[in-house]
Structure 1
């Protein structure tokens, strides 16, 4: 079998895994853990399902590539099929997980990581995998309790960890959206990579803003959350 065919087959295959932990880290937001079966690149994704009836959904891995557990960050979608069932799982229950895949992978190069909401997941994986040097992390959220892992990120990254909150205010947090914050930055470096992860509207708006500020298109790497 050709390598490309093997990759597609591996991408589609789902393996039954046992839940190790499932913690609600913020209202309606969970961090689900299973034992890691495969190696992966920080920033990659897996497909996740609770049965073979409904199609799986894609989630970024939210753990370091050296850890024994593979973790997924997700929020409950009202009226959704998968996420309410995922939220109800307890240690010992089973879940279906694919092999990691995808090209949204971090590196040791200088970069800006730009995320909204649970789009922080791949960047936390990169951070946990030792790739935070020479990085700026910009995280946008509607409410202050949506800055997941903020204590750890703030302690480790200091001034390179920048929070933007659109609906609440606090010291050391920019009041406004990610795009509002980026417009206040006078000199966005053109010689670094920009990784964007979040909903489609944010990704498109930030990409267009970066291009208008002289950032080369090839320096912008995007992952859209649905």
Structure 2
């Protein structure tokens, strides 16, 4: 979830809403707008509340629009979003933003629900010539891992800080990046997740010789 300035909102109907991991939800709505993978939408439950921004987490060929969110028990929006069901209404802006996917070679780096824009990119056919570095606390929090494994194979790397499992590294993705040698310098690096991860990874990349304008970031908080 990202918080930025308010946009005009339009009513949309919920198509489905399901808890796909403990505390993590996949909410699908009717799709009223075209979008570029990587863009965000502003969301609220009515026109009187300040909206919150969420990356679109579905391919641009889907008939629906998917949002990912984790429930903050103290939050004003996500506990109510978790209770939405088919036919309910919420309000959504037109898609916007500059964190845009393309067919060019790139590395994607994400933590938590920051994986959302990369789901959209992968489902839109942009996973070819990409590497995805994905961090989470436990193996159960690697959202849409089966899809990434199928589309990216060995170019999908997972790092869990609290537990390990088959095909999963134990530890922080930042530690792996610090030890990595010969990082490609000519490609773009897309970072999406919590602010601490984004800042740390950006600094690691720059210290290793990646130009700062090759690092594109979207911060979740």
Structure 1 partner of 2:89 = 94
RMSD of aligned alpha carbons = 0.9
Distance 1:75 1:207 in 2: 25
Q: Report SS of the residue matched to 1:164.
A: strand
1:146-161 equivalent positions in 2, closer than 5 A = 146-161=141-156
Matched, 1:119 2:123: no
Distance 2:63 2:49 in 1: 28
Q: Give per-residue Cα distances to partners, 1:25-55, cap 9 Å, x unaligned.
A: 0011101011111110000000010122320
Q: Report SS of the residue matched to 2:107.
A: strand
Structure 2 alignment gaps of length 5 or more: 1-5
1:63-78 equivalent positions in 2, closer than 5 A = 63-78=58-73
Matched, 1:12 2:7: yes
Q: How many residues align?
A: 216
Distance 2:22 2:39 in 1: 26
- The two structures have a TM-score, normalised by structure 1, of 0.94
Larger fraction in helix: 1
1:171 CA drift (Å): 3.0
Matched, 1:166 2:144: no
Selected match of 1:61 from 39, 51, 56: 56
- The two structures have a TM-score, normalised by structure 2, of 0.96
Q: Give per-residue Cα distances to partners, 1:164-191, cap 9 Å, x unaligned.
A: 0011012321111110121232111001
Which stretches of structure 1, 4 residues or more, deviate above 4 A after TM superposition?
Answer: none
Structure 1 partner of 2:213 = 218
Distance 2:151 2:61 in 1: 18
1:164-203 equivalent positions in 2, closer than 5 A = 164-203=159-198
Structure 2 partner of 1:26 = 21
